[in-house]
A and B are shown apart, each in its own frame.
Chain A
Amino acid sequence: MTNRSPLLRVEQFSGGYVEGIEIIHDVELDLFGDEILTIIGPNGAGKSTLLKAIVGALPFEHGRRYFQGEDVSGWSTPRMIASGVGYVPQVDNVFTSMSIRENLEMGGYMRRDGLRERIGEVLAMFPDLEQRPGERASRLSGGQRQMLAMARALMLDPVMLCLDEPTAALAPAARGELLSRIYQIHMTGVGILMVEQNATEALVWSDRGLVMVDGEKAMEGSGREMLTSPEVGRAFLGQEEGEGFTLEEGSRQ
């Protein structure tokens, strides 16, 4: 926790998809380079919308966003990606008809040099993918596909990775593996901003959590605070009254 200037800062963010109907209201958030921030909340709370707006995949009406101190409001997704933001959409996040290696080549489309080397580096992070780089993405399992999607986003050496519900379609066992992989990526110096439905598991791995309800930021705190907070537990983690989350389960160190 040395450098405390945020990697990403979002100020008074409002906007949405449908004319006249605003999905996000006045959200503020900071992401530091050395943390994993998870946004949780009920369905339709605007979590994914917020993430898409942050990476420039959606036009937004009000507010500003800063990346590494620079005002990036209004930047398109390709521009955001070129400047060091990796983005993994929730669905359709790999080129299914192409091989693992080709997916990575497309992820590194904007690289001028070192494509081959970077593919080697990224593959080394994912042993499952490294074993068969010629395999078509359509033949991969759900977990492997998510890993490929992340690997693709890592091709441009991002300093920040935005993940939209990475574990949504996965079996419980695969979820844990994917989250630990995300943590490993994070440890190589990548700030992680992720949106999650499977809140408990995600919060275990997170430094901070943020709860969104009806397009507004309802609560913010450390991952541990979130997990042990009775309100959050009742509302979002499916816990019964009095059933707290124990610190042993919640600790990862």
Chain B
Amino acid sequence: MGLTLVYGVLGVGDFAHGDKMGWGMFLAFFVVSSEGANLGFAGGQFGSLSFGWGLVVGVLVAMLGVAALSLVLERLVFRRLRDAGGTFFVFAIASLGISIGMRAVIQLIWGPSNFRYTPGIHPATEILGGIKVKPDQFFIVGITILAAVLLYWLLYRTRFGKAMRATADNPGLAEASGIDTNRIRYGTWIVGGMLAALAGVMLGLQAEVRFDAGFRLLLPLFAAVILGGIGNPWGALFGGLLVGIAQEVSTQWINTGLKPGIPFVIVIVVLLLRPRGLFGQAR
């Protein structure tokens, strides 16, 4: 959702989005891990969840950190490119360069190993019909729904959010209406960055904390965004759900190693049939 927002409002396909997730993941890890604990954020656990206050603080730090990082990048790189009249191509390449650099920094600091927020095995409880779900997964679904509702409220109920949509729709007219589009862009990066960080932490909670986990998710992310129609947060949520389900279900029939190919096949099929995404409409 963060990606589709940035994509729609700024016209930048942010290829660094996956690595922003990676950063969010690791910033939270930093807080949760021993270094962080020494700073006074003791672990502890919430009931049957595998984490405690440490991760809550970690999520906040991650969201602030990635949002700040996105702002700095906008100010230092994207705004200057935009002022120089750069095209989509330039933004895409620049964001790829940033993506590479960000991943290298993660490796420099934390090395190439994998981590978990909380070591140990976390048992799954059985719900209906033999489907096993970990308590953490309920938490993740809950947070996702909460984030979606908040985003909806922001975009459709607040003045700033509406101005974001207006800038996405028609930047020239937005400017002519007296909307400070630069401020809107900063705001978009903040929201996009925070969502990326949140998603990164959730991903780390669900799987493991890995330096290239975010980048690996980039293609499924873009697939979800294209499926949902660029700039449409609801579409992205639904697209994400569809891509995720398709990936998991596909392993019933095909080699698990081919799982990463599924989002790609989905993208191609969607592009052939509905170039504007499932919910896109003609203008």
Contact = CB atoms under 8 A, between A and B. Distances in A.
Do these two chains interact? Answer: yes
Interface of A: 55, 57, 77-78, 81-82, 87, 89, 92-98, 102, 105-107, 109-110, 138, 152
B43 to A, nearest CB: 45
Contacts of B162: 98, 102, 105-106
A107 B178 CA distance: 8
Contacts of B283: 96, 138
Contact of B176 (A77, A96, A102, A138): A77
Most chain A beta carbons < 10 A, residue from B162, B169, B178: B178
Contacts of B174: 95, 106
22 contacts: A77-B176, A78-B175, A81-B176, A81-B177, A81-B178, A87-B176, A89-B173, A89-B176, A92-B170, A92-B172, A94-B170, A95-B165, A95-B174, A96-B170, A96-B283, A98-B165, A98-B169, A102-B165, A106-B163, A106-B179, A109-B159, A138-B281
A46 to B, nearest CB: 20
B152 to A, nearest CB: 14
Contacts of B71: none
Interface in B3-44: none
3 shortest A-B CB distances, which residue pairs?
Answer: A110-B178, A95-B169, A78-B178
A97 B177 contact: no
A53 B28 CA distance: 52
Q: Tell me the interface secondary structure of chain B in the complex.
A: helix
Task: For chain B, give the interface size range.
Answer: 10 to 19
A81 B173 CA distance: 12
A24 B19 CA distance: 50
Given A96-B283, A98-B166, A109 B178 contact: yes
A97 B233 CA distance: 13
Interface of B: 159, 162-163, 165-166, 168-170, 172-179, 281, 283
B173 A92 contact: yes
Contacts of B179: 106, 109
A87 B165 CA distance: 21
A107 B172 CA distance: 13
Most chain B beta carbons < 10 A, residue from A55, A81, A96, A106: A106
Contacts of A55: 176
A88 to B, nearest CB: 10
A138 B281 CA distance: 9
A162 to B, nearest CB: 11
Contacts of A138: 281, 283
A95 B176 contact: no
A82 B177 CA distance: 9
Contacts of A93: 173
